[in-house]
Amino acid sequence: MATNKASFSGAYKHLMTGVSYMIPFVVAGGLLIAVGFAARGIYAYDATLALDGSTMEATAWTTFWANIFAIGAKGGFGLMVAILAGYISYSIADRPGLAPGMIGGILAGVTGSGFLGGIIAGFVAGYFTQWLNGLIKLPRNLAGLKPVLILPLVSSLVVGLVMFYVVGVPVKAALDALTTWLTGMQAGSAALLGLILGAMMAFDMGGPVNKAAYAFSVGLLSSNVSLPMAAVMAAGMTPPLGIALAAFLFKNRFTVDEQEAASSTAILGISFITEGAIPYAARDPFAVIPSIMVGSAVAGAISAVSGCQLHVPHCGIFVLPIPNAVDNLGMYVVALLAGTLVTTGMLFLLKKPVPAEAAEA
């Protein structure tokens, strides 16, 4: 039993390493996509499409913004799965696992197995490279060839063949089935999905559970499934926003330092940086964590059941003015406000007034 738990925790650590390295590419790519959307609307990706979707002759202006969009979509997002797979493998097998992992991640895109295929490629590359490293014994004068030539070459070949002949077809079928299910989701199941993703976003505020929910939603964006992304971003904004509002309204439940930090916490909230809630949760976890989980679950459920869709993976509220970046914008704002208010109300109920001597600490 202990061995099984250790194996699971090790695999989860490797997955989170890949996700952590992937997130800067997602953020940079997503922000550049958002800039393109802000400048030219939802058709920014094509220099020959006008704002209403009609065909036009490309100009220097439209080409420039199409290039900005391409840097984000084909550059940042294009590397996303390769980075994820590469650093899962790197976490397992160190430097020799990096090349086969990234090559497997690229092939996940080629085979259509996407985000799920990339995760499998990373683990296959890492564990195979680790096994091969222990299997091959070379004389000391040839040992330098193993990490830079033999291991990357053999592992890349094996991982590539596995992706083409074993992983690609069934994982693509599973991903297509998941995409079909999410696209045709009914109100009840959408609410449940949004509730679960929302609670995950608040549970550890930027930790592994939060990253797992975020990575799941970002991965689906490449399949044009945008409903989970909307739920996740709304749920990720509400913890800092709800806490900041509570610190402003119910001062006796927060220390002076917490009250003074509320403004910066709110800024983090509107920027979709859930980590702004961590200092408050660390001081009073049994009141704060349940409060923000309930609020985020409400935000995620309302967003999902209303059919809100978000086509940009970051930016917080700054994405809202971008034309067509959010489907059903009115209800999305309602979801965000409702989650914030529920978080604030839960904090009022669960947090006890701070003693006067502790308030100054």
The answer to whether the CB of 115 falls within 8 A of the CB of 178 is: no
Return the pLDDT at 153.
93
Q: Is residue 168 pLDDT above 90, yes or no?
A: no
pLDDT above 70 covers a percentage of the chain that reads 90
Average confidence score pLDDT of the chain: 83
Q: Is residue 357 pLDDT above 70, yes or no?
A: no
Closest to 236 (Cα-Cα) out of 332, 339, 149, 121: 339
Instruction: Tell me the average pLDDT across 226-254.
Output: 91
SS3 call for 222: coil
| DSSP at 163 | I
- What is the per-residue DSSP string for 258-319? HHHHHHHHHHHHHTT-GGGGHHHHHHSHHHHHHHHHHHHHHHHHHHHHTT-EESSS--GGGG
What is the pTM assigned to this prediction? 0.68
The answer to whether the CB of 244 falls within 8 A of the CB of 342 is: no
Bridge partners for 326 per DSSP: 310
Q: Is residue 63 pLDDT above 60, yes or no?
A: yes
- What is the per-residue DSSP string for 284-298? SHHHHHHHHHHHHHH
Q: Is residue 35 pLDDT above 80, yes or no?
A: no
Tell me the range of 69-83, 112-126, 203-217, 333-347 where mean pLDDT is highest: 333-347
Instruction: Tell me the average pLDDT across 75-88.
Output: 87
The answer to whether the CB of 68 falls within 8 A of the CB of 39 is: yes
Return the pLDDT at 341.
96
CA 15 to chain centre: 13
Question: DSSP strand E in 86-151: where?
Answer: none
Instruction: Tell me the average pLDDT across 98-126.
Output: 89
Instruction: Tell me the average pLDDT across 245-260.
Output: 88
CA 14 to chain centre: 16
Q: Is residue 90 pLDDT above 60, yes or no?
A: yes
pLDDT 10s digits, 174-220: 777 766 766 666 566 888 888 988 998 888 777 667 777 887 787 77
Return the pLDDT at 264.
84
Return the pLDDT at 179.
66
Return the pLDDT at 255.
85
Letter for the amino acid at 69?
F
- What is the C-alpha separation between 134 and 136, in angstroms, rounded? 6
Return the pLDDT at 301.
93
Instruction: Kindly report which listed range (15-19, 26-30, 233-237, 268-272) carries the lowest average pLDDT score.
Output: 26-30
pLDDT band at residue 115 under the 50/70/90 scheme = confident
Task: Check residue 59 and give left, alpha or beta (phi > 0: left; psi -120 to 50: alpha).
Answer: beta
For tokens 């489907």, the residue is 327
Tell me the range of 67-71, 302-306, 355-359 where mean pLDDT is highest: 302-306
Q: Is residue 40 pLDDT above 70, yes or no?
A: yes
Letter for the amino acid at 87?
Y
Q: Is residue 114 pLDDT above 80, yes or no?
A: no
Residues 240-258: b if buried by 16+ CB within 10 A, e if exposed: bbbbbbbbeeebebbbeeb
H/E stretch holding 326 reads: strand 326-327
Return the pLDDT at 61.
84
Residues 51-81: b if buried by 16+ CB within 10 A, e if exposed: eeeeeeeeeeebeebbebbbbbbeebbbbbb
pLDDT band at residue 272 under the 50/70/90 scheme = confident
The answer to whether the CB of 33 falls within 8 A of the CB of 319 is: no
